[in-house]
Homo-oligomer: A and B are copies of this chain.
Amino acid sequence: MNRVLAHTGARYPIVQAPMGWIARRQLASAVSHAGGLGIIETSSGETEACKAEILAMRQTGLPFGVNLPIRFLKDDAMLRFVCDEAGVKFVTTSAGSPAKFIAPLQAAGIVVYHAVPTLDLALKCVDAGVDGLVVEGGEGGGFKNPEEVSTLVLLQAIRARVDVPLIAAGGICDGRGMAAAFALGAEGIQMGTRFVCSAESPVHANYKQAIVDARETGTWVLNKKGTPCIRSLKSQRTEAYVAEGLMPPDALKGIKDLYFGGDMEAAPALAGQSAGLIDRVKTAQEIVDDTVAEFMAITARLGALAEGRRFG
C-alpha cells in the first residue's frame, strides 16, 4: 500500500504545493477533484482569509491538507484552528522545527509531514515523531535552504536513513519526474510551479506565461546570505539582487501586484527549475491525468527492461 495515499485519502499521490496566496480553494479544490491532494496555504499570513479558505475547502468533502510554515506564524491561532475547528486531517509543516507542533496536531488526529531540505533536519523530524516528510530539493521554487541539495541526491540520502513515507518536491512537474522520484524511494510527489501554471491557478496570465517562456536556466537563487532565501524567475529586478548578494527586506512587498496584477517586475516571481519543462497552461485535471498516465507508461517501460534484463 502506498502510505501517502493512506495518509491523505487522495486517489493519486500527487500533492499541490502550498504557495502563499495562490494555494487557496480555487486551485486546491481543482487538484483534489482531479484525484490529487490540494493544500491550503497559510504562509501569506492572512489568517482570517486562510481560515475561510480552509472551511470552504472542507465543505467540498474532498481530501485536502493545510500547510503551516512554522517560522512565519505570528501566534498559535492557526495551529489551534487547524487542530480544533477545521476538520483538517493532513498537515504539512515547513520553515523551522516542527517539534512543538507534532504533538498537538497528532493529538487532534492529524497526520503531519514536515518539509526538509537536508538529511540532518529529516533525522530530527523523524525523532520528533513526524508521520512523513516532504523532501525539498534545491531546484524547487519559493523559500529555500541556502544549502542547495538536488532532489536526486537528497531523496536518496534521506531514504537511506529513515523509514517514514517521503513526498519528493523540487524539479518535478510530470510523470517522468514522478517515476524518477519513485525509483529513488519516494511514495508521492509535490508540484508547485506546475500548478501555479494551471488553468485554475488564480494568478495573472503574465505569471503563467513567464513560466511557460522560461528555459531550464530561467531561475536563480536569491538572498543566499539573508532570509528568506528564495528561487525565482530571472528578471531585471532580481538581477540586481543577485549582483548584490542580498535582497532588501521589503523585496517581496509587491508580490500581490505580480501574482494578481501581472506586473512581473513588482517582486521576485517564485518558481522552480521545472519552469523550463512546462510548455503550456493545463487544467489541474490534465496535469494529474497526464502525470499518472506518463508515470504508468514509464514504469511499464522500465519493468520491461528488468524482465528482459536489458537496458534498452
A150 is contacted by which of B137, B185, B303 (Cβ under 8 Å)? B137
* B307 engages A153 (CB within 8 Å): no
Does A152 sit at the interface, judged by CB under 8 A? yes
Give A77-122 interface residues, CB cut-off 8 Å to B: 118-120
Does A216 sit at the interface, judged by CB under 8 A? yes
- Bound CA span A310–B3, Å: 12
* A152 engages B152 (CB within 8 Å): yes
Q: How many residues of A contact B (CB 8 A)?
A: 62
Inside 8 A of A274's CB, which chain B residues have their CB? 153
* A277 engages B312 (CB within 8 Å): no
A276 is contacted by which of B153, B188, B305 (Cβ under 8 Å)? B153
Does A5 sit at the interface, judged by CB under 8 A? yes
Does A22 sit at the interface, judged by CB under 8 A? no
Inside 8 A of A304's CB, which chain B residues have their CB? 303
Chain A contact surface mostly: helix
Does A149 sit at the interface, judged by CB under 8 A? yes
The copy count of this chain in the complex is 2
* A276 engages B119 (CB within 8 Å): yes
Closest B residue to A119 by beta carbon equals: B216
Inside 8 A of A147's CB, which chain B residues have their CB? 217
Given contacts A176-B185, A217-B118, A303-B303, contact A137 B152 (CB under 8 A): yes
24 residue pairs from A and B, CB less than 8 Å apart: A4-B312, A118-B216, A118-B217, A119-B215, A119-B276, A137-B150, A139-B149, A139-B152, A148-B148, A149-B217, A150-B170, A153-B171, A153-B273, A153-B276, A154-B216, A156-B177, A157-B277, A176-B183, A177-B184, A183-B298, A296-B309, A298-B302, A302-B303, A303-B303
Could you list 15 further interchain pairs (A-B, Cβ under 8 angstroms) beyond the known A2-B310, A182-B305? A4-B312, A13-B312, A139-B150, A150-B150, A150-B152, A150-B273, A152-B171, A156-B176, A156-B277, A177-B184, A179-B184, A183-B299, A187-B311, A299-B302, A303-B303
5 A-B pairs with least C-beta separation: A303-B303, A2-B312, A300-B306, A179-B183, A180-B180
